[in-house]
Structures are given as C-alpha cells and as structure tokens.
Amino acid sequence: MTGGFSTPKKDVGIKISNGQLVKAGQILARGLSAYKAGENVKGQSTLFALCSGKVHFSKSKTSHGKFRTFIHVLPE
C-alpha cells in the first residue's frame, strides 16, 4: 500500500457497551462525531466518564431533525 500503511486505525470507536460498569476518567468513545456527551460524560471527539457508574445509551432528535446517540453514565 502507498506510504507503508496496510491496516486501518484501530483506536477509533466505541470502547464500552450498554450496561457496562465504568470508572471515573475511563474513555467511552474516541474519534466519533456520531456520539454526543450526556449526563456525567465530558468531551467532544474523545468522550470520558466523570464519575463511576453504569453506561446508558439513548437516542433523541435535535432541533435540526437529526437523530443523535447520547452516552450517559448513571452513578452507582
């Protein structure tokens, strides 16, 4: 391949699943604009947990009519 790159980057994507327990500061998603920060989550392209708890995904419609997936952390 051109430039010596033969495999795609593997660090981009969702790092956790729904219902999984996370610690404060743990990275939830990296490099994806499709997922937005919800409750107890901070960041723009790299989302991380602000507190320990369970992960919850939800979808809602924005004012522009697009559906967005939000990542929330429910504290224990």
9 three-class SS = coil
pLDDT at position 62: 83
CATH number for the domain formed by residue range(s) 11-75: 2.40.50.100
Whether 1 has a pLDDT exceeding 60, the answer reads no
Pairing of the two strands 35-37 and 67-75 = parallel
What pLDDT, in 10s, does the model give residues 4-21? 667 777 788 899 999 999
Report CA-CA distances (Å) from 72 to 3, 6, 69.
39, 35, 10
Whether 2 has a pLDDT exceeding 60, the answer reads no
What pLDDT, in 10s, does the model give residues 30-72? 988 889 999 999 999 899 999 999 999 999 998 899 899 999 9
Residues contacting residue 74 through CB under 8 Å, at least 6 positions apart: 39, 40, 53, 54, 55, 56
pTM metric for this prediction: 0.81
